[in-house]
Amino acid sequence: MREAIILAGGEGWRLKPHTWIPKPLLKINGETLIDRQLSWLYSNGFENIVVASDRDDLTKYDVTYSLEERKLGTGGATKKAFKGISGDRAYVMNVDDIVFYNPNELLDYASKGAGVLLAKPTLPFGRVTLQNGVDVIRFEQNSTLDFCVSAGHYVFKRRVVEKFFPDVGDFEFATMQRLADNRMLQGHIYQGVWFTLNTMKDLIRICDFFKPPVKKIYAVTPSPVR
């Protein structure tokens, strides 16, 4: 059975004061962010999905909630959410990282204990190449950087979570490095579109991307009567 955990407990402070709506409930052209992510997982064959949050009213879908009475961090939240997973591994994702691929690729790829989806980030500034220290010889907008970052989607086996994850705290810091040190972490390169929703500017950009195309209506000039 394909199983997943969605980490949906963030406060979304960088979106305030523009909106005070919890990040999972932000609307993307009429659909909440968490419902879009759940729909994506279900359409790819996932059956049991655990939502880690501090509330149990986030979605219309029939999911299992792993409730936090206090903030546990991503590591603690994942560790607690694994109590709702029946198998030996789970696809784990941030609710605010949107990608476009089949998540089973990463689920089947991570054989050593843990896997992380990797993407090359796009520089949000104009990249400048200088000659002689002052002469601009190249100017590139939206250039792709030549290194990989985590795209916020992972796969973890139960034994890894139980042994390495903290009860309270984020796994992105010491835990991931420990997995790398033990050669238990595999990276899967993703080359598609990747959105991470942190600011109001990000939300506007994502809504524009998903906006349905405008249908063009062409006026038809009637043929003259003969």
pLDDT of residue 130: 85
pTM across the whole model: 0.85
What sign results for the dihedral spanned by CA atoms 68, 66, 99, 200? negative
Q: Which residues contact 155 (CB under 8 A, 6 or more apart)?
A: 89, 90, 91, 92, 106, 107, 109, 110, 114, 115
Least confident of 23-37, 43-57, 67-81, 202-216: 202-216
Domains of the chain: 2-210 (3.90.550.10)
pLDDT of residue 121: 81
Confidence grade of residue 102 (pLDDT, cut at 50, 70, 90): very high
Q: Which tens digits make up the pLDDT trace of 32-42?
A: 999 999 999 99
What average pLDDT does range 11-31 have in this prediction?
76
Least confident of 10-14, 29-33, 176-180: 10-14
